[in-house]
Amino acid sequence: MKKRNKRVVNKRLLDKRLKERVLSIYERSKDTIHQHIWVELLFMVALSLLVSGIVFLIVSHFIYSTDIAKREHITYDESRAYVQEVFLENVARINEVASEDYDEESIKQYVTDIINYMYLDPDYVADTQTYLVDGSGKIMYQDGIVESLNLIKVIQRTNNNEYSDERNKFLAIYPVIINNEVCYLYNESTLQPIIYREFTDIGNILAIIAATGMFILIIFRLTRDKIAYLEYLSTCLGEISKGNLDYEIDIIGEDELAQVAKSITHMENELKYQIDAQMRVEKSKNELVTNVAHDLRTPLTSIIGYIGLVKTKGYHTEEEAGKYLEIAYNKAEKLKIIIEDLFELTKLHQQGIQLNKESISLSNLLNQLIEELMPLANEKQIEIETYIDTNHTNVWVDIGKITRVFENLIENAIKYSPEKETVYVELKSIKDHVYIAVSNPTEVISQEEIDKFFERFYRADQSRNSNAGGSGLGLAIAKNIVELHGGEIKAN
């Protein structure tokens, strides 16, 4: 009993595993079909051929089971050959008997029996008449209405029967020797038709037409959605080619057509991004020209104005003239800074720029810069707190360029902080990277404004008359330098 139960359990386990394997194969096959359009097409063609083959068999079987594809063929050749064979046998028998040494009465009786009792199968012969005539045409050994035959006409009729329209007639006359006298055995029979029923090609033709129609119908039905999707993608491309880059494309399925749709969507997004980027560059260029003109014109106007006053002696005292010249000089210095920064930014944008990298301790560099900028911080009574990690902060950098980055960041933090506040400088090592943060309190600034910090000539003061001064290029230069070093800079 235990062995039997164990056998039943094992059978159930095998059935369960087999079922799971079949389901697994089915799911994998289903996924493969849905993910590859060529597999889908093969499946469609195979299914169409299978159904078309079944339709062909059904239609051909139906047609051949009826009289639609049958054709009757009537022939008398077999009946004619049969009668001729029997008739020749009897002629041979008569000649054989006549050649024996029998008396005339015995021969007469034997020949009469042959003529009267000659059996012809009714399947081949409907009616028959056989006569034995002598050379003059007189009928021998038979009593009846017909006493004689015209041998010439009989022979002519027999010869012409082959070419007559009366295909159901058999006429034959053969000579026999009886008592050393030439006689003739004549037979006239009405033949039974032999009907043959044969199948024509109409059944196969109709079956092929039905199978072909079914194949086309199934292929059309199965590929209709794919063709419609292709037409839809073509329409989408037409819309995109007109410049409508916001046109949304529906992604249907997981096969290559879906991948094409995804690629078109990706292309659309890339085109949109490139056009937006190009527009941003164009806008940036326009703003750059405007800002450069503004930032150069303002100090230049002041310089021309103050020098003009000195030139025309529009001052009251020498001290006032010196003051005018000092203002003009300061404006010229500011103008020089703008031009130098603009030149530096232009160089950083050039391809193939070389960095003169050296090993340096960032902790030492930051401490040195903070010490140098303390006088600027003291003017606004600003404290600078540092959280500098001295371990693992040695890096390979272009010292001159990286110094400019940190100098600009700390200086900006001091300039744009309210008085009597604190600026925080942090340095720490994270795995194979170095993290530096410069933080300072400021007025509430929107995220949109923060995102523009690293644009050229941008200042939070939109009037561009900030007392903080500067060229407006510092953070843009800093961003380019950091990215040239393979780093990242951002504002929060």
Least confident of 35-49, 307-321, 377-391: 35-49
pTM to 2 decimals? Answer: 0.43
Question: What average pLDDT score do residues 220-231 get?
Answer: 80
* Tokens describing residue 216: 């086309």
Name the β-bridge partners of 196.
73
The domain made up of 354-492 has a fold known as: Heat Shock Protein 90 (3.30.565)
Q: Which residues contact 189 (CB under 8 A, 6 or more apart)?
A: 83, 120, 125, 126, 127, 128, 129, 169, 170
pLDDT of 17 higher than 70: no
Query: Which of 44-58, 60-74, 340-354 comes out lowest in average pLDDT?
Result: 340-354
Rounded mean pLDDT, 202-211: 84
Q: Which residue has the higher pLDDT, 462 or 103?
A: 103
pLDDT bucket at 465, cuts 50 / 70 / 90: very low
**Residue 420 falls in which region: left (phi positive, over 0), alpha (psi -120 to 50) or beta:** left
Compute the C-alpha angle 265/266/272, nearest 5°: 90
* 162 band by pLDDT with thresholds 50, 70 and 90: low
pLDDT bin (cut points 50, 70, 90) of residue 33 is very low
Q: Mind listing the pLDDT tens digit for each residue in 328-347?
A: 888 888 788 777 777 777 77
H or E element, residue 433: strand 433-439
DSSP for 187-198, written as a single string = EEEEEPPEEEEE
Give helix then strand counts, H and E, for the chain.
12, 10
Average per-residue pLDDT in the chain? 78
- pLDDT grade for 424, boundaries at 50, 70 and 90: very high
**What confidence category does residue 437 fall into, taking pLDDT thresholds of 50, 70 and 90?**
very high
Given a cut of 70, whether residue 448 has pLDDT beyond it is yes
Share of the chain above pLDDT 70, in %: 83
Domain ranges of the chain: 1-35, 75-197, 354-492
Q: Above 90 in pLDDT, residue 85?
A: no
Tokens (6 digits) for 59:
């239609």
How confident is the model at residue 343, as a pLDDT?
75
Dist. CA 72–CA 193, nearest whole Å? 12
CATH of domain 75-197: 3.30.450
Residue 463 confidence (pLDDT): 44
